[in-house]
């Protein structure tokens, strides 16, 4: 594969933005050796129109190395716009804890669903951590009680994810009101997911506030790891 041919394929993709042109360029990069062969299945799905560029960029923004390699220049440029250098450092997995807030805020570029899924993932992680640290069969343990609260809240959020309409957002928030002042991390994170679902479906979202609230309950490194594990497979359709 000559450099000239590779540049022609890249130019065609940049000019048209067509999935077929992008897939052809990616496959050419694999043959030339500048892109890992693991990209071939993704390139095939892109070329077939089964994987949108927005999802690839989201996975790259989240920090998936392969997705980032598929569209690195534009994904990095987008990350700079969304969260300045902080979001870029998280995407490249070379970051400070203080960078994570800006990175979380930038998730809102892809709408409410990634943000809700991020809060859900953190709530589930907190629930599992509580279960691991306490004996649910202990008659004096309250872990089972809080697990039930968490699960009730998540049921409403999952209904919103199936149909992210204003009505399901209102339903999730209404059902969550009784748990507003429960301080248990898994419950408060599930409550946050309900708030975010309602806010995005009613065009009243404040991602800065959600990022701060999430990081009050989950450490920065844990948040990044949990969100990546849940959202990258979803973004790339590999779950």
CA distance 237 to 70: 16
Q: What is the pLDDT of residue 141?
A: 54
pLDDT tens by residue, 110-161: 999 999 999 999 999 998 887 766 655 555 456 677 888 899 999 999 999 9
Band of residue 181 on the pLDDT scale cut at 50, 70, 90: confident
For residues 126 and 217, the answer to whether their CB atoms sit within 8 Å is: yes
Q: How many Cβ atoms sit within 10 Å of the Cβ of residue 101?
A: 21
As a whole number, mean pLDDT of residues 1-17 equals: 85
- Residue 90, helix vs strand vs coil: helix
Does this model's pTM top 0.75? Answer: yes
Torsion sign (Cα): 170, 118, 71, 43 = negative
With 70 as the cut, is the pLDDT of residue 11 above it?
Answer: yes
The closest of 53, 17, 47 to 30, measured between CA atoms, is: 47
């Amino acid at each position: 594969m000559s450099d000239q041919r590779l540049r022609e394929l890249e130019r065609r993709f940049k000019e048209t933005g067509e999935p077929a042109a992008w897939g052809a360029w990616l496959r050419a990069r694999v043959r030339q050796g500048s892109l890992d062969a693991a990209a071939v299945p993704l390139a095939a799905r892109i070329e077939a129109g089964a994987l949108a560029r927005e999802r690839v960029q989201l996975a790259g923004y989240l920090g998936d190395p392969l997705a980032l390699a598929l569209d690195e220049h534009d994904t990095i440029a987008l990350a700079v716009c969304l969260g300045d250098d902080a979001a870029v450092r998280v995407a490249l997995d070379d970051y400070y804890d203080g960078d994570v807030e800006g990175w979380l805020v930038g998730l809102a570029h892809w709408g409410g669903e990634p943000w809700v899924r991020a809060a859900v993932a953190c709530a589930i992680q907190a629930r599992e951590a509580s279960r691991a640290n306490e004996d649910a069969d202990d008659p004096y343990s309250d872990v089972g009680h809080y697990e039930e609260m968490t699960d009730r809240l998540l049921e409403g959020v999952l209904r919103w994810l199936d149909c992210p309409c204003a009505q399901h957002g209102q339903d999730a928030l209404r059902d969550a009101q009784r748990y507003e002042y429960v301080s248990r991390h898994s419950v408060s994170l599930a409550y946050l997911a309900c708030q975010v679902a309602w806010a995005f479906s009613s065009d009243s979202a404040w991602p800065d506030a959600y990022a701060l609230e999430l990081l009050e309950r989950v450490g920065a490194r844990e948040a990044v790891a949990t969100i990546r594990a849940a959202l990258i497979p979803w973004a790339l359709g590999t779950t």
